[in-house]
Structure 1
Amino acid sequence: MSGGWRRRTWLAAAASLPLGACAPRAEVTGALTGTHPERGHLLRHARATGDVVQRRASVVIAGAGVAGLAAARALRLAGIDDFVLLDLEDEGGGNSRGTRIAGIDCPLGAHYLPVPGDAARDVQDLLEELGLRRRVAGRWSYDERHLCHSPQERVFFQGHWQDGLLPVQDVGAATLAQYARFARRIEALSREARYTIPVSASPLAPAHLRLDALPFTRWLAAEGFDDPLLRWYLEYCCRDDYGAGPDTVSAWAGVHYFASRHGFHAPGEEGDRDAVLTWPEGNAWLSRRLAAACGERVRPRRVVARVATTKDGAAIDAIDTASGSLERWEAKHVVVALPAFIAARVLASPPAWLVGAARAMRYAPWVVANLHLREPLADRPGAAPSWDNVVHGARGLGYVDARHQALDPRPGPTVLTWYHAPGEQQRHALLQSSWQDWHRAVIDDLGAAHPDLAGKVTRVEVTRYGHAMRIPVPGTRAQLQGVALHGPRVSFAHADWAGYSVFEEAFTSGHAAGVAAARRLGRTAVA
């Protein structure tokens, strides 16, 4: 699983497949798209080649990912329009961006948002503003067009598809018993201490600190959870949410995955499956609306190279990668909505706590491959095609179908979005591999479940993230205690400050930074 990927292993496996089964078709086109690592690497030797352009704004937001866009929204709610967002990529949204292939929308990263609980009040307010949530007969109701259509998820296990992602068919009594005991243990831990999304909504309890101090695998071993199928499922969950396996993430993170939502339900137990909001383009549906409200204040293709505090506020240098010019912004306040390791690099005088935090953080690389198919796949026996489709034992994390939410029932071309977290050791190889390499990797990974996949792919677009998300390693939660994110001139906003990367954490962090910036300007934002 994680850490087990080798580029040559993938290529050798793909090359050995028989023609007509999983061998890619020669006429398939493709590209590496969505991210521009070369722009980020400009920070190593940040130099402008053109003129210096002086600019001014009340607030400069460095980074137009979800956190930066949320900060901008908070400023707008406070009546502040004099702000600008500077972002590295061609459009805002960060990991919540999307694209279109042959007329079909598909995600470039995050592809769903669980219906938020009461702790995520800022996210709930956003969904209400966007018309996704409204009060009906005294209860909150969500627009069913945007809730994930059924069937939601399935796993390919022992030669056939089964409903849900937890292997249950043809498994032994001992496995089922461990499923049930794990469910009871998660329930007990949920009673012992509250787990919330966002994490800032509840204090870090002693029980959390105990779990935060050790790897998830050590806790599982101490608790006697050693069943291979349970361990596979927990491995999948950790890599899916955190980009790393149970041997790397903390026990707090492993428990939080379940305890912060609807728990863990063993086969035969009653329990609600998480309601999920999703769109063909993934969370780009949300980020594009946040960006559109900012209009031309979103300035793409900018590399923020330096942030320095001044007597009256802050000075921000950004390289316009299109013209080569250096933009020197003067602002009363700056929101640094960048990953912690980038924030520590660009601040002229970073505080000691930021330097220490950045050094301790570890990041997971990710690959997102979008495959356009000229026609639907021939399905194997078992559960029907679902939104989320996972192959048991595969290296990747499965795929989602971009047309699953379509209201048109007629079968036709579609896009499958395949996700993979190869492990920290593979970051360099990830950036060196071609789209053809990743095409072969996907065919190899999904071939057992879909032997006709290779013959139906027409185009492959691969998005690579060298530092996609922070990994919640042991000690992460303890490290974040007492961090001062909001100062008189600089505020910090990013999912890094929650310890792991999900939309709710990024948005809540950004909203808080926007509120802090508004107060710095003497305005009151909606808190």
Structure 2
Amino acid sequence: MKRGITRRAALTLAGAALAGCSRDGEARWSAHWIGAAHERGHRLRDATKSGSLGAPAVTRRAGAIVVGAGIAGLAAARALMRAGLDDVHVLELEDAPGGNSRGHVLGGMGCPLGAHYLPLPGPHANEVAQLLDELGLRRVEHGRVVYDERHLCHSPQERLHIEGQWVEGLLPPVEALPAAERERTRDQYRGFAREVQRWVDADAFRVPTARAAWSDELAALDALSFADWLARERFDAPALRWYLDYCCRDDYGAGSARVSAWAGLHYFASRHGFHAPGEGEAERDGLLTWPEGNGWLAARLAAPLGERLHGGCVALRVREGREGVELDAWNERAQRVERFVAPQLVMALPLFAAARVLDSPPAALAQAAAAMRHAPWLVANLHCERAPIDRGGAPPSWDNVIYRSHALGYVDAMHQSLRPHPGPTVLTAYWALGDEAGARQRLLADGAEAWAARVLADLSAPHPDLPRHVRRIELMRYGHAMSIPVPGLRGHAALRALAAPQRRVHFAHADLAGYSVFEEAFFHGTRAAADVTKAVRTRRAA
């Protein structure tokens, strides 16, 4: 049970939440699922099992087809259009583009349905840096990179609720721990910082990972779990282990026992390092964020597509022939099968879905899909008539995390607002469920009210008044939200084979990196588009 709230109190709050009531019994809020029903995605699975696809009602021709309008698919379409292919059609299962980076509006306020920030790109994320330049978010002045401050996360950025109060930052402060744990924790904070710095100095981890060299030492890290590596290196302080587990769940959807040691170290060594308290901590890392999260970026990537973006279309089958590629898709709005024909196709779907769609999947695709595990996620947006009451400590921040919670905390959609007075807001709570057996089934089987009750019970630990201020809770569930970088996945030969140039069907998804972040998806989408462009130009020149 999480600190700061007793089991009885949690059950009481959950019961009140489940009834949609305040303590005085007055009905206060309602809970609703949003997004496409999961049955739409299951249409592919059921159709391929039964073989009942049906004949296409219409056939359309395109210069290139992109299947999937997540960040990888949108990046591919953007790069293809920039290369001069002006007849690019993109098909997307959901009604709106963006994949895990979709935005939403609740109570007139923007809020995220998935990824809610973008770290400032490092020296190897060239494609993302170029995009930010084009969008006016980034510029170079006198040899120095400058970002538009309106889109940088406003201060204070993050805080942690521990021992009944809020403290700045997410690393548990030594002073807040039991006296018996303090010295060991301080020493292990310093020891882990030295280990991470060793890898930073070696430049062994990069984002995107395709631009990092591979070595026997990294392969050894990839072969065991992060938890096993931490145990081997004698990093066992409870506060450190909780923090590292939280970081893994936040970025990978599952904790240190499921992700590889390579992934656990990559989280820190590829970006910001790890800084022990009082050991010359660097300036807090900058990040870009918007009320609707990375949906802000997805909307701008999708806008140039216009009517060539086909939402509500479920890819059913892709057949590669000698002269081109045929795609059959179910159009949810028209309730019919439609066929698209093009010389080249970008498959920007999760690899397990791509394996089902392709008529004759390559051996590498089947191998990669079998090796991958995907974490289910829940994203809950809570429309509040006012922000919850704080009870001292660090002031309200953009990112707010509860120590020892199984959830990931919440972000405040109105934190970026410059309004001079308090008012309604939307809190977005995140739950990564990759560690829980049967979580995907519960996510589909349990009702919106039951999940809303769990969310409210968790957030009521630091904010007991929160249920009284909530008016509506909208929940988004992702059955296969992101690839978990399990041991052995990063160095898998099948991922390298799929990222290589193909004949007509090119693969582009963050799955090819073994984990899911914006930079990896954008890189692989851009890379696949370059392969398509080269193939088209070669054919034209022949």
TM-score bracket for this pair, using the shorter chain length? over 0.9
Change beyond 3 A, Cα 1:262–1:93:
same
Q: CA deviation at 1:482?
A: 3.4
Amino acid in structure 2 at the alignment position of 1:296:
E
With 87-96 and 472-481 compared, the bigger mean Cα shift is at 472-481
1:241 corresponds to which of 244, 251, 256: 251
Query: 8 Å contact 2:17–2:453 — kept in the other structure?
Result: no
Q: Which is richer in helix?
A: 2
Match of 1:230 among 217, 223, 240: 240
Task: Mark the runs of 5 or more structure 1 residues left unpaired by the alignment.
Answer: 2-8
User: Secondary structure of 1:293's match?
Assistant: helix
2:241 partner letter: R
1:32 pairs with 2:33: yes
- 1:107 has 2:88 as partner: no
Deviation of the 1:51 alpha carbon: 5.6
Contact 1:97 1:108 in 2 (8 A): yes
Task: Name the amino acid aligned to 1:482.
Answer: R
Q: How does 1:64-463 map to 2 (within 5 A)?
A: 64-168=69-173, 169-171=175-177, 172-270=182-280, 271-423=282-434, 425=437, 426-463=439-476
Deviation at 1:129, TM superposition (A): 0.4
Write the distance in 1 (CA, Å) between the matches of 2:358 and 2:516.
Answer: 22
Deviations 1:153-195 (A, max 9, x none): 0000000000000111333122111111110111112334521
Question: Counterpart amino acid of 1:458?
Answer: R
Pick closer, same or farther for the CA change 1:504–1:134 going to 2, 3 Å. Answer: same
How big is the shift at 1:328?
Answer: 1.1
- In 2, the alpha carbon distance for the partners of 1:296 and 1:175 equals 56
Asked whether the 8 Å contact 2:69–2:348 carries over to 1, the reply is yes
Q: 1:248 to 1:40 in 2, by over 3 A?
A: same
Pairwise CA distance, 1:35: 3.4
CA apart distance, 1:208: 1.3
Query: In structure 1, what is the Cα distance between the partners aligned to 2:14 and 2:368?
Result: 41
Q: Deviations over 1:127-173 (max 9, x none)?
A: 00000001112211000000000000000000000000011133312
Among 500, 512, 519, which residue is 2:527 paired with? 512
AA matched with 2:319: A
Q: Partner residue of 1:6?
A: none
Q: Cα gap change, 1:462/1:50 in structure 2, threshold over 3 Å: closer, same or farther?
A: farther
Q: 1:48 Cα deviation (Å)?
A: 5.3
| 1:360 Cα deviation after fit | 1.1
Distance 1:49 1:322 in 2: 16
Give the whole-Å Cα distance in 1 for the aligned partners of 2:133 and 2:23. Answer: 45
1:268-298 per-position Cα deviation (integer Å, ceiling 9, x unaligned): 1221322110000000000000000111111
1:483 aligned to 2:497? yes
Q: Which AA in structure 1 matches 2:40?
A: R
TM-score (norm 1): 0.95
> CA–CA distance in 2 between the matches of 1:287 and 1:316?
24
**Cα distance change of structure 1 residues 137 and 391 upon mapping to structure 2, 3 Å threshold:** same
> How much does 1:321 deviate?
1.1
User: Would you say the 8 A contact 1:22–1:452 is kept in 2?
Assistant: no
Counterpart of 2:79, as a letter, is A
- SS of 2:275's partner is coil
Paired residue type of 2:176: D
AA partner of residue 197 (structure 1)? V
Give the superposition deviation at 1:50: 8.1
- Post-superposition shift, 1:432? 1.3
Paired letter, 2:503? P
User: One-letter code of the match for 1:463?
Assistant: M
Find the aligned partners of 1:301 and 1:268 in 2 and give their Cα distance: 52
CA contact (8 A) 1:251 1:474 kept: yes
- For structure 1, which segment, 12-21 or 176-185, has the greater mean C-alpha deviation from structure 2 after superposition? 12-21
Judge conservation of contact 2:18–2:452 (CA < 8 Å) in 1. Answer: no
| More displaced 10-residue stretch of structure 1: 76-85 or 27-36 | 27-36
**What secondary structure does 1:178 align onto?**
helix
Shift of residue 505 of structure 1? 0.3
The aligned counterpart of 1:4 is none
Distance in 1 of aligned mates of 2:318 and 2:239: 49
CA RMSD of superposed structures (Å): 2.2
Q: Deviations 1:186-234 (Å, cap 9, x if unpaired)? A: 1112334521111011222222111000000110001010000000101
CA distance in 2 between partners of 1:337 and 1:422 (Å):
24
Contact 1:25/1:455, CA 8 A, preserved across alignment? no
| Residues in 1 aligned to 2:315 and 2:405: alpha-carbon distance in whole angstroms | 39
Structure 2 stretches of 5 or more lacking a match? Answer: 2-8
Is the CA contact (8 Å cut-off) linking 1:14 and 1:23 kept in structure 2? no
Distance 2:314 2:22 in 1: 45
Deviation at 1:18, TM superposition (A): 12
CA distance in 2, matches of 1:294, 1:16: 46
Partner Cα separation in structure 2 for residue 308 and residue 103 of structure 1: 44
Aligned-partner Cα distance in 1 for 2:341–2:13: 55
Specify the code of the residue in structure 1 equivalent to 2:35.
G
Q: Tell me which amino acid in the other structure corresponds to 1:368.
A: V
Between the two proteins, the alignment pairs up a number of residues equal to 518
CA distance 1:312–1:18, shift in 2 (3 Å): closer
Give the structure-2-normalised TM-score: 0.92
518, 522, 525: which one aligns with 2:537: 522
